[in-house]
């Protein structure tokens, strides 16, 4: 019988506290031999290591990566000798780089700023100026890594984060190989972290995998999908498999359909060079939404480890079946001028840097099914778009209506379908929608909701996704990183849709600030359903 009291929480420990408690240092972190290593309530602390960020001057690094590193240090989850090396095309000295990181941390970190934490982190910062074809710069990087091994005790353990446009992935990994940075000495490790997109179709994804795996072993490569680092996404597994009440009805016998939505209320901003020619489906559906689908529909894994999770997710992706008529069951759209948050905004074709004749989709919606025993006949509707009515990402599992109702039709005319809605962002949590009697003498039933919100149920705020994922990289924990087989299976789903759209005319237009083109509403209306309006 457990003696743990519910009100007690597990506090994160520092390296000094870990050593005092009798914990021993290992390449992937600190382990207490007197505790059950499988107890995931215990804090996981990275062992001696360093992080090299290519493209360190970009928005992703400034707004997400560097603040996440500070937040990890502030929570006591990085070793005292942790080192951060930036590589970019800027003529900076180490102190200039430290100032840039300081500014980014002050502006974007989640946890309070503490000078003593910052000073310890800043001592391990280095900056390497150069381009990706600059052999001299990579030699300087190698020298810095060797120097940090001695002065900071990193143990030769380094993760190389490629926060660069995909076209530079091959060049960077080849340079790492050429200058001996990819190969670790015995007892240490080297890892590569790659941001999406992982190719732009199946063929390019396979080519990229081949290039990367020529330099790094598959278990050394971590493909970042930041959505998988969000607490709510991980909570899908807890919701389904740690509770008895949901899993028995999580199947075709009870579920009518599933809607997965990622809506953004912003336009493309300054990303015209990246976005045009890529589009919403390649940018979001191929990775984020298909991963959310896999977590929602997968069978229970035999363990919460990378191999078991990947096995079950891959089964889902391989069972995907597209409709025969893609013209009826898929929609692509493009936002036109409209009103967003009380402000007049331009359409996609008027955005700076966009070709006026562009057919790139800023909205995409698809219908698909899973050809397996659990989900046969249950449609999954996926949609994503920019300049929509509000920013929201959610998974809605909508249940079939009750087969028999003893109530008069007038009593239930306001009753909808039961649903479990998992809110990924913002306001992370879950809503259960069900019918309840309205107070009064007559029998009237109306939809009500029960809400669970992370912010109200837990005293500790959820870590940013990049905090969790960067720590997982340093620990060598690949649970939340898509495998190459998953990436290729996702492209096999999306490629036929993209090929079909390429034969069509211009995308459907929708006004900014709405929920997308009318064609998307018609797509569901043909099935007797409608999109949720979160």
Spatial separation of the C-alpha atoms in residues 223 and 161, rounded to whole Å: 10
> For the residues of 143-171, what is the DSSP string, one character each?
HHHHHHHHHT--TT-EEEEE-S-GGGHHH
In the 8-state DSSP scheme, what is residue 112? P
pTM of the model: 0.86
Q: Which of 257, 288, 329, 404 is catalytic?
A: 288
pLDDT of 30 higher than 60: no
User: Looking at the predicted structure, is the pLDDT value of residue 33 above 50?
Assistant: no
Q: Before 233, cis peptide (omega within 30)?
A: no
User: CA–CA separation, 287 vs 292, rounded Å?
Assistant: 9
Mean pLDDT rounded to a whole number for the chain: 86
User: Residue written as tokens 């005292």?
Assistant: 80
Give the number of other CB atoms < 10 A from CB of residue 524: 20
> Quick one: average pLDDT of 503-526?
95
The conformation of residue 366, written as its DSSP 8-state character, comes to E
Q: Please state the length of the chain.
A: 534
Q: Where in the chain is CATH 3.40.50.720? A: 46-195
CATH of 228-525, one of 3.60.20.10, 3.20.20.10, 3.40.50.1370, 3.30.360.10: 3.30.360.10
288 is catalytic: yes
Q: Where residue 465 falls among pLDDT bands split at 50, 70, 90?
A: confident
Q: Is 282 exposed, middle or buried (0-12, 13-18, 19+ CB in 10 A)?
A: buried
The pLDDT of residue 310 is above 60: yes
Predicted confidence (pLDDT) at residue 480 exceeds the cutoff of 70:
yes
Q: Looking at residue 166, what is its pLDDT?
A: 83
Tens digits of residue pLDDT in 141-188: 999 999 999 999 999 999 999 998 888 999 999 999 999 999 988 889
Q: Delimit the CATH 3.30.360.10 region(s) of the chain.
A: 228-525
pLDDT digits over 403-452, tens only? 666 655 555 555 578 889 999 888 888 888 867 667 765 666 667 677 87
DSSP 235-259: HHHHHHHS-TTTGGGSSTTTEEEEE
- pLDDT tens-digit map of 234-278: 889 888 998 888 999 999 999 999 999 999 999 988 777 778 889
Q: Is pLDDT above 90 for 232? A: no
Residue pLDDT, tens place only, 338-383 = 998 889 999 999 999 999 999 999 999 999 999 999 999 999 999 9
- Indicate the pLDDT class of residue 97, thresholds 50, 70 and 90: confident
pLDDT at 413: 53
May I ask the CATH class of domain 46-195? Answer: alpha beta
By CB neighbour count within 10 A (0-12 exposed, 13-18 middle, 19+ buried), where does 278 fall?
middle
pLDDT band with cut points at 50, 70 and 90 for residue 34: very low
In whole angstroms, what is the distance from residue 444 CA to residue 503 CA?
A: 51
* DSSP string of 274-326, one letter each residue: HHTTTHHIIIIIIIIIHHHHHHHHPPPPSSSSHHHHHHHHHHHHHTEE--S-H
Task: Report the pLDDT averaged over residues 56-75.
Answer: 90
Say if residue 9's pLDDT is above 50: no
Two tokens, residue 476: 């060598």
């Amino acid at each position: 019988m457990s003696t743990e009291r519910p009100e007690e929480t597990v506090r994160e420990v520092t390296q000094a506290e870990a050593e005092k408690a009798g914990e021993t240092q290992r390449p992937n972190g600190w382990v207490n031999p007197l505790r059950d290593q499988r107890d995931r309530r215990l804090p996981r602390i990275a062992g001696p290591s360093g992080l090299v960020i290519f493209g360190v001057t970009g928005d992703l690094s400034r707004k997400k990566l560097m603040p996440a590193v500070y937040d990890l240090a502030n929570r006591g989850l990085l070793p005292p000798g942790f080192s951060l090396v930036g590589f970019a095309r800027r003529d900076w000295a180490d102190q200039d780089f430290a100032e840039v990181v300081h500014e980014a941390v002050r502006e974007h970190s989640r946890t309070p700023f503490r000078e003593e934490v910052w000073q310890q982190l800043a001592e391990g910062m280095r900056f390497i100026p150069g381009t990706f074809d600059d052999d001299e710069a990579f030699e300087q990087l190698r020298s810095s890594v060797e120097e940090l091994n001695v002065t900071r005790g990193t143990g030769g353990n380094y993760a190389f984060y490629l926060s660069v446009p995909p076209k530079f992935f091959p060049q960077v990994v080849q340079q790492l190989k050429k200058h001996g940075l990819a190969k670790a000495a015995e007892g240490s490790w080297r890892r590569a972290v790659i941001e999406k997109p992982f190719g732009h179709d199946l063929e390019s994804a396979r080519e990229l995998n081949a290039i990367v795996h020529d330099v790094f072993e598959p278990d050394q490569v971590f493909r970042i999908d930041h959505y998988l680092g969000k607490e709510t996404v991980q909570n899908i597994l807890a919701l389904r498999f740690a509770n008895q009440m949901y899993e028995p009805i999580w199947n075709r016998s009870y579920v009518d359909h599933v809607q997965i939505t990622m809506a953004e209320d912003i336009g493309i901003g300054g990303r015209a060079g990246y976005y045009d020619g890529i589009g919403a489906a390649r940018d979001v559906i191929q990775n984020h939404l298909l991963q959310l689908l896999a977590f929602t529909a997968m069978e229970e894994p035999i363990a919460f480890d990378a191999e078991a999770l990947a096995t079950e997710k891959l089964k889902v992706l391989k069972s995907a079946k597209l409709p025969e008529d893609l013209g009826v069951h898929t929609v692509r759209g493009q936002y036109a001028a409209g009103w967003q948050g009380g402000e007049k905004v331009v359409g996609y074709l008027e955005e700076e840097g966009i070709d006026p004749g562009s057919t790139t989709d800023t909205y995409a919606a698809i219908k698909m099914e899973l050809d397996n025993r659990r989900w046969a006949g249950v449609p999954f509707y996926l949609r994503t778009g920019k300049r929509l009515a509000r920013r929201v990402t959610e998974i809605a599992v909508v249940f079939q209506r009750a087969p028999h109702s003893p109530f008069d039709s007038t009593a239930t005319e306001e009753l909808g379908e039961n649903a479990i809605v998992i809110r990924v962002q913002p306001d992370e949590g879950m809503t259960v929608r069900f019918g309840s009697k309205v107070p009064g003498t007559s029998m009237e039933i109306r939809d009500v909701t029960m809400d669970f919100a992370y912010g109200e149920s837990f005293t500790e705020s959820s870590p940013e996704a990049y905090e969790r994922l960067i720590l997982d990289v340093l620990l060598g924990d690949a649970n939340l990183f898509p495998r190459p087989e998953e990436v290729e299976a996702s492209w096999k789903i999306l490629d036929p849709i993209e090929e079909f759209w390429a034969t069509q005319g211009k995308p459907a237009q929708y006004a900014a600030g709405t929920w997308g083109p009318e064609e998307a509403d018609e797509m569901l209306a043909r099935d007797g359903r409608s999109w949720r309006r979160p």
